[in-house]
Chain A
Amino acid sequence: MTIEIEGIEIEGIEIARAAEATAAEAESILRLEDVRIAHRHTGEELVRGVSFDLRPGRVVGIVGESGSGKTLTCRAILGILPRLFHISGGRVELFGRDIAGLSARDWEQLRGVSITAVFQDPGSYLNPSLRVGPQIAEALRVRGGLRRREAKRRTIELLDDVRLRDPELIYRSYPHELSGGMLQRVLIASAISLEPRILIADEVTTALDVTVQAEILDLLTDLTQQHDLALIVVSHDLAVIAQTCDDVLVLRQGEVVEQGEAKSILFAPQHEYTRLLIDEHNTYGLDRFREPAGVHHG
């Protein structure tokens, strides 16, 4: 299949690359302008006016609880809104193109190759009756056009990139044999396998132990730097966002109550909800005990 970009016929994966190239000349690869998401039948707006800009190498964080609209926003960006919902206002530009104009075919080309996502429950995104490695390798063969042996080699390489200790063993393992943290790394490996420009991480560490969470967050930060990725991190934990993100949006019941650079939001929160989140950490979290000047190691 082919599409035309600026009068030139392009095929398959090249469509995506071409789009990226076009957009790379522009500054942002993802731009949301006053995006509103509403229920198709009742008209009830569940997301009311989200705007932000995503550039390569930057990390944008969305802080929100269940019901805040964060997941709907992510799904809208990926073009996978549930059928009952639609983008009722504003615009989403992906690599410079309005996603309203994208066909199903276009999306197929973009997803996985240019924009990918990792979600909260890693086990449910893998086929439990197949080994983990081949599931990743398949994507490389089908979308990336690699031969079987090459795909396997590249997969093991990726599993190593996400710092799994024994990539060969992991390749041969079934999902149920791996812990939550390992599974999440596997999915991250899968997500970056086709070298996307944008990665959305939606509550990826929520179900994990705090020590494992630190590793995963670190991994994501490193990948951002190494691959010049643009990363969107979604979490209900303000501290997670504070630690990994450059820019932050605080979402509450569908509205952006605060937005800006992470540092300024933390030191000078404007909205009471943000202050509630910060106070909670200061009152009940570790920050209550820590001296702000630095962390002491024994």
Chain B
Amino acid sequence: MIRRILALPAGRFATAFLVFIAFLAVAGPVLAPYDPLLGTSDILAGPSAAHWLGTDYLGRDVLSRILAGAPISVFGAVQVAVIALFAGAVPGILSVYLGRVFEWLTLRFVDTLIALPFLVFAVAVTALLGNGIPQAMLTVGILVSPLFYRVSRAATLSVARSQYVEAAILSGARTGWVVRTHVWSKVLPPIAIATANTLGIGFVIVSSLTFLGIGIQPPAPSWGGVLASDLGYLTQRPYAPIFTTVLIMLSVWAFNLLADVIRDVAGESGRTLLTERGAARDAARRRRTDTAASEDALVGRSSS
């Protein structure tokens, strides 16, 4: 299970950091020592005992702003992933089993999404639903969903057409059984990887948008916003952007690292280690008898 991911040092680091970020997102605003919106006369101060990260150009405590701004980034990224999952992965798996019409409809819909220019779509959504981070994330989520659709559909198709599924059908299995017993374990890894990557992308997009001041009404705090204001006053506090930048960077890196770890842990061709039996299977694979290995070698299948 998650144990396998945690077994790898990269997995431990990625998970730990992401747990930390999640914690910040939930508890950040509460933990903030000062009101993030409260300006003081102590502007552009350096780090001190009172203000660990100093203050910004309006005298607001930077640490508080970062803590309070965590939810926007994190939940924004999560929103993208969740929307992409539901708009993409679920139809993807279902498209194999719900008949020709459904399959055709979803395929064409996904094709359309891919063909849409991002900006046009974003503008349309904004016009319809208003300006804001959630709306922007909705847009991104829908535009990323084709990836999930394709990935989960491909994984499901390859399983659905396999001989062992045919064997199950010949024993009287219904679709539900086939999905539970055979499809799920093989579809999970590609989806997990896509999700981790999407979380990273979502994070970057939120940070970028808030940096540009889009979707966020000042003076609401956000990581990108803090970074933007930091850059505006570089001469006074040249070290200022480092913290925020590193934070954003590490978060994105952690997501991508997690994706890589899942990929490694799942083994070739997407077989999963995210389930108990998958893990046992991998351990078994490592235990493979010498006969099998040397048989391969004899027929010249070893690297050469």
Contacts and interface: CB of A to CB of B under 8 A. Distances in A.
Mostly helix, strand, loop or mixed at chain A's interface?
loop
A75 B300 contact: yes
A46 B294 contact: yes
A130 B298 CA distance: 30
Contacts of A67: 291, 294-295, 298
A71 B299 contact: yes
Nearest to A75: B300
A240 B210 CA distance: 75
Interface residues on chain A, size class: 10 to 19
Interface string B276-304: 00000000000000010011011110111
Contacts of B298: 46, 66-67, 69, 71-72
Interface residues of B, number: 10
Contacts of B291: 67
A44 B298 CA distance: 12
Contact of A84 (B295, B299, B302): B302
Contacts of A72: 298, 300
10 contacts: A39-B297, A66-B298, A67-B291, A69-B298, A71-B298, A71-B300, A83-B302, A83-B303, A84-B302, A84-B303
A83 B300 CA distance: 10
Contacts of B300: 71-72, 75, 82
A171 interface: no
Contacts of B299: 66, 71
Interface of B: 291, 294-295, 297-300, 302-304
Q: Which 9 A-B pairs have the closest CB atoms?
A: A82-B304, A82-B302, A83-B304, A67-B295, A71-B299, A84-B302, A72-B298, A82-B300, A66-B295
A44 B294 CA distance: 10
Contacts, number: 33
Contacts of A95: none
Nearest to A82: B304
Interface in A148-170: none
Interface in A39-62: 39, 44, 46
Given A67-B298, A81-B304, 7 more contacts: A39-B297, A67-B294, A69-B298, A82-B303, A82-B304, A83-B302, A83-B303
A66 B296 CA distance: 9
A82 B302 CA distance: 7
Contacts of A69: 298
Contacts of B304: 81-84
Which one of B291, B298, B299, B300 has the greatest number of beta carbons of chain A within 10 Å? B298
Nearest to B299: A71
Contacts of A39: 297
Nearest to A46: B298
Contacts of A75: 300
Nearest to B291: A67
A46 B297 CA distance: 10
A81 B304 CA distance: 8
A83 B302 CA distance: 9
Interface in A73-89: 75, 81-85
A17 B304 CA distance: 29
Contacts of B294: 44, 46, 67
B38 to A, nearest CB: 69
A82 B295 contact: no
Nearest to B290: A44
Interface string A99-114: 0000000000000000
A23 B173 CA distance: 67
B86 to A, nearest CB: 40
Nearest to A44: B294
Contacts of B302: 82-84
B303 to A, nearest CB: 7
Nearest to B301: A82
A45 to B, nearest CB: 11
B272 to A, nearest CB: 30
